[in-house]
A and B are shown apart, each in its own frame.
Chain A
Amino acid sequence: MELSLLDTILIALDRFALATIIGASAAFAWLLNDHNARTLVQPKLRIMLDGALITLLITTTVVLLMRTATMADVSLPAAFPFVGKVIEKSHFGSLWAGRASALVIMVALWLVIRKRPLPLGGICLIATSTAIAFYISAASHAGDDGLFTLDNLTNSIHIIAGCLWGGAVIAYLAIITSLRQQGDAMHHIICSSADRLSSLATIALALVISTGLLNAWHRLETIAELWQTDYGITLIIKLGFVAMMMAVGASNRFIIIPAMTGKPAAGQRFQRILSLDALLFITIICIAAALGIQGPGGH
């Protein structure tokens, strides 16, 4: 498999895992305010978090190996002897060490709270996810002028908000699937948590847009690159998917969720729409990963 394709798959998996962790943590911290519902949903969210953490551990390790191979200009199997030097003597390596430390803290925290995840535990997991997003951002152009710059801060919030937006949708799918199995008794919880999901998504979207605009303000070169390069065209395709996800979110907020009150059958329709939303989010992650590898073609 070509290295750049592997890189794209790896980055997509990495961001998906981070989004799942943030979404499941948000479910513990905010989406579910009912103790019984939280107990019912816990097994599914626990499996989600286990899987996402294992994925993140794997992608973090493989990212280091792949970058080492690139930096040392050797094949992947020949990269192992250079790993130490990369961590010790490169900008990427020191950022990777920061990210790996945050991940170790996250895993330790999860092992402590795994049996009884409380809202505070969810907040702590989101805090460690923020640290990981900070290091991911610092390893991109946003970190060129240093770690603690407006550029890096803006981009870190952008990553976190995007993951919160999509991750919350994925976590809510687990919630609605578990709660609907209980029959109509849990319908009022489905409705109240759907309201909370919608509010969370709106806040996340506002952050994505505001930080996106700030990023654009810093980075805008020529708008013509959007339609003159392969990169720009891929970017427009991504925009199309983001717009679709926004439209789905808006219809949920203004039409679907208000119509759900007192109508348990409407829950199934909402679940189907959320599945589509989650699929759109996964597509956006894949396109964003491809963009990250591709880079602007005009340069």
Chain B
Amino acid sequence: MNTIKRASLCSNLLLLLMFPLVSWGHVHLDKSIPAKGEAVSPAPESVQLWFSGGVETDWSKIEVRNTDGARMDDGEINRINDDQKTLRITLKPLPVGIYKVKWNIVAHDGHRIKGNSHFSVK
């Protein structure tokens, strides 16, 4: 094998080292408002979630509950500025206290992602 062929083979193998980075994983939560563990004032009017990929509104669920387990959201999920990677749920007026957020989301690839968070109103 001549030098050019060897160099070509080595450079191909080196390029291949970057190959693993191309695989696509599942969608995950990028950001939420209120953020996990955040203490906010005044009380938020909605919980907003930003994901790493597109998510479905029709097949996803978000629940916001107080410490007694009562639902504090209106049950209707919509998007923020029509962005396919976002979900928002409007809240009832929240008194001071701790609130748990649970989401059970369907991503555009048809996979389900579950997660939870909490925030408090001070």
- Residue positions of A touching B, CB distance < 8 A: 67, 70-73, 86, 89-92, 139-144, 155, 158, 205, 208-209, 211-213, 215-216, 219-220, 223, 226, 231-232, 235-236, 238-239, 242-243, 246-247, 250, 254-255, 288, 291-292, 294-296, 299
Contacts and interface: CB of A to CB of B under 8 A. Distances in A.
B88 interface: no
B84 interface: yes
B17 A239 contact: yes
Given A242-B16, A254-B5, A235 B23 contact: yes
B52 A141 contact: yes
Contacts of B106: 70-71, 90
Contacts of B12: 205, 209, 246, 250
A212 B13 contact: no
Most B CB atoms within 10 A — which of A73, A90, A144, A219?
Answer: A144
Given A92-B108, A140-B109, A250-B9, A215 B59 contact: no
Contacts, number: 116
A12 to B, nearest CB: 14
B108 A143 contact: yes
Given A215-B22, A288-B23, A246 B54 contact: no
A219 B19 CA distance: 12
Contacts of A158: 22
Q: Interface on chain A toward B: helix, strand, loop, or mixed SS?
A: helix
Contact of B108 (A91, A220, A236, A243): A91
24 contacts: A70-B112, A71-B56, A72-B59, A89-B58, A90-B59, A90-B106, A92-B56, A139-B110, A141-B109, A143-B54, A143-B108, A155-B22, A158-B22, A212-B15, A212-B19, A220-B21, A235-B23, A239-B17, A246-B12, A250-B12, A288-B23, A292-B23, A294-B25, A295-B26
